[in-house]
Amino acid sequence: MESSVVVMDTNPTTNAINSQTTAANLMERIEEITEEIVSEMSDAISDHSDRYGSQSPKKRLKTEASIGDHSDDKHKHLVMKDKLEHRLGGILCCAVCLDLPKSGIFQFCFIQIKCTNGHLMCAGCFTHLLADARLRDETATCPNCRCVISRDLCSRNLAVEKAVCELPGLCRFCSKELPRVLLDKHQVDYCEERIVRCTFARIGCPWSGPFHESGPHAETCIHPNKSGREVLDVLIGLDKETIEEKKLYDSIFDLLSFEKITFNDLQLKPYRTDEYIHKLYYETSRFTAFNTQWVVKARVNEDQRDPTQSCERQLSYQIVLKSKLTTPMAIHYVILKGPFGDMKLHPRLYKHEFNESSNESPFQVISLHDSHECNKLLAAKV
């Protein structure tokens, strides 16, 4: 026998109300969720629009990938460039001062002496080595491989010079990075941080500072408004310098009007003293002037015991009378650059009276441009 049970709702109105309430709550929740989703999507779309414009999703993915790859490639390129420049700087630097040269570069010609090292030197260090060897009475050698070096065994390396010119260097005023070939021009004419003097320095203004501050300073400088009496002392000082320079040229022109004038092209040859420590000195062969015999002697650093211990060097010279005089003789003398020489000096005119008890003039410094010019003279054969 089968049996079935039927359950019948005795309160249909209450159930209908509960069902409507649940549906209403559900719709409100759905609307809230929908509004949140729409808000998030609109924010995301706005962000992407600002970044990529109206690109499609596929294009946006490609753009994101390309931007990432481009930034990585750029970073790698900069790192590789810095490494390459650093490595080139280490390879092309001078073997003595370990710095990139600013002037001519010399490479030893090892073919004649059968050395394959080929170490590089800047012109200043190369000349300094030759001068040191002359002072020590030794043969100049390469500081790395000890091969003999001389002016006959070396040549300029133009390829390295051009490569060094293209390497970056820092401006000493603004630290801006520029090719070395442009650095000097930049530092002299274009750098806004280069140190300049006031426009009114000739009338006593002591100001000096960055170029970009010179204009505002000139507008407020008080020296243009000073009276003539206040700037007179500065003008007197300038006149003294001009008078001294004019006096030198006037003296030379006056001496050219003398009855007896002689000009001698002399060569100073190196010699050594007989002392325990042999000192270098220079002396010319005897020459004739005013019917008497003379020689010129020169020494390094005022007869310093070991001039190789000093980086700053200078030459001083004297005139020695080799003939006997019956009457005193006053001589004006000046040393100049020879017709085949290239030394840079400032002429200085001297006077000495020679007699039986005084046949040597005092030592006078040869007014060379700088210590490098002295090394060039010491490195030369004569």
CA distance 235 to 113: 62
pLDDT, greater one: 352 or 230: 352
| pLDDT of 190 | 92
Q: Which residue has the higher pLDDT, 53 or 298?
A: 298
Give the C-alpha distances (Å, rounded to integers) separating 369 from 97, 280, 342, 346: 22, 22, 12, 7
Of the candidates 278, 302, 293, the one whose C-alpha atom is nearest the C-alpha of residue 366 is 302
Ordered domains of the chain (ranges, CATH) = 2-12+254-379 (no CATH), 90-181 (3.30.40.10), 195-252 (no CATH)
pLDDT tens across 250-279, in order? Answer: 888 888 888 888 888 888 888 887 776 677
Question: Taking the mean position of all CA atoms in its chain, how far away is CA 24?
Answer: 84
User: Which of 32-46, 102-116, 132-146 has the highest average model confidence (pLDDT)?
Assistant: 132-146
Closest CA to 221 of 239, 243, 199, 202: 199
Q: What is the pLDDT of residues 13-41, one digit of tens each?
A: 444 444 444 445 545 655 665 566 556 55
Q: What is the spatial distance between Cα 168 and Cα 89, in angstroms, rounded to a whole number?
A: 9
> CA Rg, the chain, in Å?
43
For residues 201-222, average pLDDT:
90
- The pTM (predicted TM-score) of the whole model is 0.60
Q: Distance between CA 382 and CA 18 in Å, rounded?
A: 122
The pLDDT value given to residue 8: 37
Distance CA 110, CA 117 (A): 8
Tokens (6 digits) for 171: 């401006």
Least confident of 35-49, 71-85, 120-134: 35-49
pLDDT at residue 57 tops 60:
no
Say what the pLDDT of residue 208 is. Answer: 92
pLDDT per position as a tens digit, 283-297: 999 999 988 999 999
User: pLDDT at residue 103 above 80?
Assistant: no
pLDDT surpassing 70 at residue 317: yes
Over the stretch 151-172, which tens digit does the pLDDT of each residue have? 777 777 778 878 888 888 888 8
Is the pLDDT reported for residue 55 higher than 60? no
pLDDT band at 362 (very low <50, low <70, confident <90, very high): very high
Mean pLDDT rounded to a whole number for the chain: 76
Q: How far is CA 225 from the centre of its chain?
A: 39
